[in-house]
Structure 1
Amino acid sequence: MFTKFALTGLLASGVATAATLPKADVWQPELTPKWQIILSSTLNSASRIVPSDAKVWDLDVFETSASTISKLQDAGSKVICYYSAGTSEEGRNDLGGLTSSDYGKGLPDWPGEKYINIKSDRVWSVMKGRIDMAKEKGCDAVDPDNMDGYSNDNGLGLTQADAIAFVKKQSSYAHSLGMSIGLKNAEEILDQVQDSIEFAVNEECTKTGRCAWYNNLLAAQKPVFHIEYGSKSDSNTYCLKSMSNGNQFATVIKHLSLDGWVVYCDGSEYTSSVADKSVDNGNEIDSGNEDA
């Protein structure tokens, strides 16, 4: 087992890489926890947190304070910290070290956001810093998004093999820091990285007919945090379809903006209290309510 001193020396000497770092004990989520995801705004932890029985929260690592994470954990919840691993996002202050060669084509549905070269050492340095940020804030896991550049017109020639290597690189580093990691969408590489992740996050597999891609992951007792976008009236359809082949998903119905509103398969509906991004959680004003 590496001591902190020995590990620091190995990193400094270049002997230890992301692929060889020792794996610490990490959280393995249960199959169907009640969960909530909020990315377009910031959870208002100064208010009463609802749903109070949500055991997993997926929140933006940049916008969520260490005190909010600690408050959720004190209430018995685990916190997954989101960041985009395969694209740039406007307003992120850690991209200054990238060069023009690190940027690919823009995402048609997300103005100002571009694919980035996940084979670049400069990009790895950014993502390593984001994983470090998650660790410093006390996150239990990380949720690296946009690893499916290979299936889009990315402008960088990125392949499935590149995505697999980058997921495993992030996984090894996150594990060495004692954090779990998931795979967001990118179902084509799921089987190749299944042993490197503790969970998956999926968007709209009932709409796309891709829920069966997760059979092997579920058989390995690793959960799928499943999002369908729509209204409360859609919940029965989405929930029944997601379980039609015998699989059980941790399903939520959300607005496309991934704000504080959520509906569960039992019909319960909540609105978590949120504030605009970049508002200090310690000074936020309650703007939400519990609807169920």
Structure 2
Amino acid sequence: MAVVPVPVLVLIVLVLVLSAGCSSGGPAPAEARWQPRPGTPWQWQLDGRADPAAADVPVYDIDGFENSAADVARLHRDGRRVICYVNAGAWEDFRPDRARFPASVLGRQNGWDGERWLDIRRTDVLRPLLERRFDMCRDKGFDAVEPDLMDGYLHDTGFPLTAAHQLAYNRMIARIAHERGLSVGLKNDLPQIPELVRDFDFAVNEECAQYGECARLTPFVEAGKAVFHVEYALTVREFCAGARRLGLSSMRKKPALDRWRQPC
């Protein structure tokens, strides 16, 4: 057996260490991240801690702050993937990190109690705050992130937000997730799906059937990426057939997003 000289062996080890250090800060390879497929059944419960007995499905989307690492581990033991819900587009006065958001980035109320739109142009302020939240999701063992309110530019936020601002912000969010080995979903923001489908691993949509917009989610399905979809007002008889034709993962939920669900 050939013997490698000590200096050469030391050099090889040094190269390997430096290579690992250089790659550790970049996004996880796409093949290493969880990729939910079209039609994957799911449960969406943001009202408190997750109820593992609520639905026999392979994916749970739950609140990142309200659920612990033990809650995530329990779902994993049941063979489920777990998505971490965090708000990325609005400040919430009931979150433990609320004091970290300066008043300068808080805009108008968004219609939900205790919430105000964020000035997504201020990535210098918001990026480190989102990084801390995504660190929380990673450290609790989540597989993916659902960042909410990704379409502030379509609303009266109190800031002159443009589509370009939103594209830059959403892509930044995707990078933050991928750097932590987390998959990430595009929440609503239908007009920008053609530009963003490559940046995101799945989509989450509310009420596309009610507004006749579900076909706009087709790029995700065609890319082999799940579209997790809910309706609130329509009955399952009114939207499930169309949702199945499009390959969506659809169910009816109450707006409170408690344990109740009515799947297609």
- 1:126-137 matches, cutoff 5 A: 126-137=129-140
Q: Partner of 2:9 in structure 1? A: none
Q: Partner of 2:168 in structure 1? A: 165
Shift of 1:7: 6.0
Cα distance per residue 1:147-198 (max 9 Å; x no partner): 1110000111112211111111121121121110001111111111111111
The number of aligned residues is: 245
Cα distance per residue 1:77-130 (max 9 Å; x no partner): 1001001100011211213232221011111x2132110112222221111111
Residue 149 of structure 2 is aligned to residue 114 of structure 1: no
Q: Partner of 1:176 in structure 2? A: 179
- The two structures, once aligned, show a CA RMSD in angstroms of 1.8
User: How does the TM-score come out when normalised to structure 1?
Assistant: 0.79
Q: Partner of 1:50 in structure 2? A: 54
Which letter maps to 1:72? L
Residue 251 of structure 2 is aligned to residue 247 of structure 1: no
Higher fraction of helix: 2
Shift of 1:145: 0.5
Unmatched runs of 5 consecutive residues or more in structure 1: 9-15, 266-292
Distance 1:91 1:240, change over 3 A: same
Shift of 1:3: 5.7
Residue 31 of structure 2 is aligned to residue 27 of structure 1: no
Which letter maps to 2:126? V
Cα distance per residue 1:199-242 (max 9 Å; x no partner): 000000000111011111111111110001147xx111120232
**In the alignment, is the contact (CA less than 8 A) between 1:184 and 1:200 conserved in 2?**
yes
Q: Partner of 1:237 in structure 2? A: 238
Higher Cα radius of gyration: 2
Shift of 1:6: 4.1
Shift of 1:264: 1.0
Unmatched runs of 5 consecutive residues or more in structure 2: 1-15
Structure 2 counterpart SS, 1:216: helix
Q: Give the Cα separation in 2 of the matches to 1:97 and 1:204.
A: 33
Q: What's the % identity of the aligned pairs?
A: 34
Ranked by relative contact order (alpha carbons within 8 Å, sequence separation 6 or more), the top structure is 1
Q: Give the Cα separation in 1 of the matches to 2:45 and 2:72.
A: 13
**In the alignment, is the contact (CA less than 8 A) between 2:83 and 2:142 conserved in 1?**
yes
